[in-house]
Structure 1
Amino acid sequence: MSTTGPRALRLVEAGIDALGRLTLLLTLAMIGLVATNVLLRYAFSLGSVWSQELEWHLLAAIILLGMSHALQRGENVRVDLFYAGFGPRLKFAVDLISHGLLLLIALLFVKLSWAYVLQSYAIGETSADPGGIPMRWAVKGLIPLGYSLLALQTLAAMARTVLVERQRREAARA
């Protein structure tokens, strides 16, 4: 996250950064839950459907809420083998095109998942297993939320890319 640029851009990046810290806490909670479940299962022959389902609910939250933070931090997957050898103008073009494609995909996921979540909410979907977590729609609701955040961060990344390119060109002229 940078401390330069328009206020709206800084606010989006700060929000995504805070969300990244939240996913860190969710990850720590999930590690503790998995360790506890393993200990209870193998040492005491105890286990619960609810706690096992909570593991994958937390994993879904970590992935869907953390992907925008990963993009912000540049921890997304790219083919750096080629990218590293590109000049600044080609890197700029590749970044804008890849961000544009990611934005389209994120918005498509939001659009396609919305009806899925609403249907789950409307029928009051719960776990199919006895003792499982109720309100299955809540974890499904993370899909459009996570992809909306990814779309927002992608727009911020596009703006940041344009801002950096403008600064690079101005510095080259000076």
Structure 2
Amino acid sequence: MYQFAKHYVSIVDKVNYRLGRIMMYGLFVLMAILAWSTISKAAFVVPSFWTLELAQFALVAYYLVGGPYSIQLGSNVRMDLFYGNWSVRKKAWVDSITVLLLIFYLGVLLYGGIESTIYAVEFKERSASLWRPYMWPVKVVMCFGITMMLLQAVSELIKDIATIRGVKL
């Protein structure tokens, strides 16, 4: 069981680290889309109807696919008022409880995301905007990001349990 946990953590952490490093450049994609929107409105006096929605789609990918990287690095928001003074084991106990809640939340979110993606594919769902893009691509990215976040949360739980037990992974 120990070898499986060690292997799982290693693989998930490596994949999410690489995805996170790639998604860091998603911010430049988002800026390019919004810059084009500004330039087209100012210079050509023709608003690009697709830019705002495409920027939202890019932000979904940036946030959801890059989120596991943030959790992995421990750069998520914590209430450091008490947390900073706790021992490593006490932090692991609290983190393991909160990660369990996160896993439940992500499971519910993934279930809803899969249902929504199936609906979008079956009924060829389109956005209500003037551009009217299909919704399934962004919903697939959303489900992928939630899945990667769920895998990273399980990895964090395994690391917390190892810390509580005094085992090094």
TM range, smaller chain: 0.7 to 0.9
Is contact 1:68–1:150 with CA below 8 Å preserved after alignment? yes
Query: What TM-score comes out, normalization by structure 2 length?
Result: 0.87
Aligned Cα RMSD in Å?
Answer: 1.9
Is contact 1:48–1:131 with CA below 8 Å preserved after alignment? no
CA distance in 1, matches of 2:127, 2:59: 16
Name the structure 1 match of 2:144. 145
Larger deviation, residues 67-76 vs 84-93: 84-93
Query: What TM-score comes out, normalization by structure 1 length?
Result: 0.85
In structure 1, the gaps of 5 or more residues are none
In the TM superposition, residue 14 of structure 1 has moved relative to its aligned partner by 0.6
1:52 lines up with 2:48 in the alignment:
no
In the TM superposition, residue 116 of structure 1 has moved relative to its aligned partner by 1.4
CA distance in 2, matches of 1:126, 1:20: 29
Name the structure 1 match of 2:64. 64
Name the structure 2 match of 1:86. 86
Name the structure 2 match of 1:155. 154
Name the structure 2 match of 1:110. 110
Larger deviation, residues 142-151 vs 104-113: 142-151
Percent of residue pairs identical: 26
Is contact 2:34–2:55 with CA below 8 Å preserved after alignment? yes
In structure 2, the gaps of 5 or more residues are none
Name the structure 2 match of 1:164. 163
Q: Rate the CA distance shift 1:140–1:21 in 2: closer, same or farther, 3 A.
A: same
Is contact 1:23–1:62 with CA below 8 Å preserved after alignment? yes
In the TM superposition, residue 167 of structure 1 has moved relative to its aligned partner by 4.2
